[in-house]
Amino acid sequence: MDNAKAYPAKAFFVSMLTRDIDLSDAILDLLDNCVDGIIRSTNNLTGSDMPYEGYFAKINLNGEVFSIEDNCGGIPLEIAKEYAFRMGRPEGHIRDLPTVGLYGIGMKRAIFKMGQDSTITSITDNDSFKVHIDKEWLENDNQWELPIETNQDVTLNAPGTLIKVTNLYEGITEEFNDSTYVNNLKKLISNHYSFIINKGFKVYINESEIKPHNILFIYSHDHDEKSISPYIYQGEIDGVKVDLKVGIYRETPTDDDLDNEQKIKRTSEDSGWTIICNDRVVLYNDKTLLTGWGEATVPNFHNQFIGITGVVHFKSDDVSKLPLTTTKRGVDGSSKLYIYVKKYMREGTKIFTSYTNQIKKEIKIEKEYLDNSKKISFEDFNKEENFPREKMKAVRNTTKNEINAVRLKPNLPVPKISSTTKTIHFLKEEEEINIVSKYLFEDIDRPASEVGIECFNVILKQAKREI
């Protein structure tokens, strides 16, 4: 009997594997592997506020070579032999560790994305190895195993891994030679690795250390019975711990702020929802339907809401339960867990969109609270001295899998608005506003809103005299 060939064409496999992942996301995959090495070697991240302290990843890139070196424990030889270089993790090798790697394609996909020649060198406390992948191997459909050189003289200073990619593709060379791309990559890592960096991990790009971009909430605890405080939900659902907070990180924009499009564009970058899975940011400052904006009774995001920011942190040793996409840089919107949690996201968002719509009419009320407030990061908010535990209330469980859930709805300082009050808002040329400002105040730099109010007051006084 003849046989029909059914094994994959390697070139097709590699092409499909790398086609739908962005270059920067591929590099983040390699950083994820560094953190996985820490978790694998320590096996416990709960005993310290700084579990990643002392560990680093150093990325160097230019038009000729990409490399990433870490001191994160290395890849054990047995793992390298069994599945580290396989195209997908085999059945039975899902690890009960708080990582984000589920499919076993991250390292391979990243190096195949960048070039046609790579060397992976690793050392642990017990062994070391080197694997070389070249163009000939990539083009050989009959060769699916890779030679492992063991007991080599490894030049790494500590247990860790060094990945070096050469023979870069032309498009990758152009990106790595572009300073704009490199700066954007630094910003991406600053955003997506902020939580891990804050817990001690250090990341370098071309010897420049990356600083974290922290997500902060305004908190005016102890002001009075009202306070500017985040909406909080915490609980455990089907073995996944959920920590959700949404609040404001800056003052509510005035009409003058909204008229300044450039200023609004800069400040709106910090608004929206950020989703974290096991310390890794997988979605950053999203303002779309995916995170509840424009869904149910929540309005679509617009510039009036630039002060609103929210975070959800999902934690589980079983990575298959996390609402992750295959790229690990997106949220699976169809996840049952995520759909359930999103109802709390919408509830919290709605509280602050309503607050914003009311407080913008009396900004001075908000200012009184802001003068007596502080900014607290998402993680620091959970510290005993900051956490408003006495105000948390148990959630009435709507699913049998929801355990120890609590929620805080803040009592925000909103003004009492008369039902007869109406808003007047109109646009005029800046030159004309300056002329009127000069006429009314002998000052052309008064805010447009102040000029408009004074115009109304002048006409109102005149109208009352003539009635």
**For 32-36, 128-132, 147-151, 300-304, which range has the lowest pLDDT when averaged over its residues?**
147-151
Specify the pLDDT at position 224.
Answer: 59
Q: What pLDDT score was predicted for residue 443?
A: 81
Q: Looking at the structure, do residues 243 and 159 belong to the same domain, yes or no?
A: no
pLDDT at 98: 54
Both 144 and 198 in a single domain?
yes
Residues 117 and 205 both lie in one domain? yes
**What does pLDDT average to over the chain?**
85
Q: How confident is the model at residue 102 (pLDDT cuts 50, 70, 90)?
A: very low
319 & 178 share domain:
no
Q: For the full predicted model, state whether its pTM sits above 0.85.
A: no
Comparing C-alpha atoms, which of 103, 157, 164 is closest to residue 128? 157
Minimum mean pLDDT range among 94-108, 303-317, 337-351, 376-390: 94-108
User: d(Cα 156, Cα 133) in Å, to the nearest integer?
Assistant: 20
The residue assigned the tokens 């408009």 is 452
> In terms of domains, do 41 and 90 share one?
yes
Q: What is the pLDDT of residue 366?
A: 85
In a shared domain, residues 369 and 223: yes
Q: How many structural domains is the chain composed of?
A: 3
Rounded Cα gap, residues 199 and 197, in angstroms: 5
The reply to whether 319 and 386 lie within a common domain is yes
pLDDT of 100 over the 70 cut:
no
Query: Is the Cβ–Cβ distance between 385 and 338 less than 8 Å?
Result: no
Q: Is 5 contained in some domain? A: no
pLDDT of amino acid 265: 58
Predicted local confidence at residue 179, as pLDDT: 96
What's the DSSP call for residue 82? I
3-state helix, strand, coil in the chain (%, to 5): 35, 20, 40
pLDDT bracket for residue 103 (50, 70, 90)? very low
Task: Look up the CATH number of the domain holding residue 92.
Answer: 3.30.565.10
pLDDT-based confidence at residue 446 (cuts at 50, 70, 90): confident
Range of the domain at 330: 217-408
% of the chain surpassing 90 pLDDT: 42
Residue 378 and residue 251 in one domain: yes
Ranked by mean pLDDT, which of 171-180, 370-379, 445-454 comes out on top?
Answer: 171-180
- Judge whether residue 263 has pLDDT over 70: no
User: In terms of domains, do 264 and 363 share one?
Assistant: yes
Task: With respect to residue 323, please indicate whether it lies within any of the assigned structural domains.
Answer: yes
Q: What is the separation of C-alpha 177 from the centre of its chain, rounded to a whole number of angstroms?
A: 26
Q: Give yes or no: residues 262 and 382 share one domain.
A: yes
Q: Among 192, 209, 226, where does a domain finish?
A: 209
Same domain, 335 and 318: yes
Of 315, 311, 58, 342, the C-alpha closest to 207 is 58
Q: Are residues 111 and 128 in the same domain?
A: yes
Output Rg (C-alpha) for the chain, integer angstroms.
27
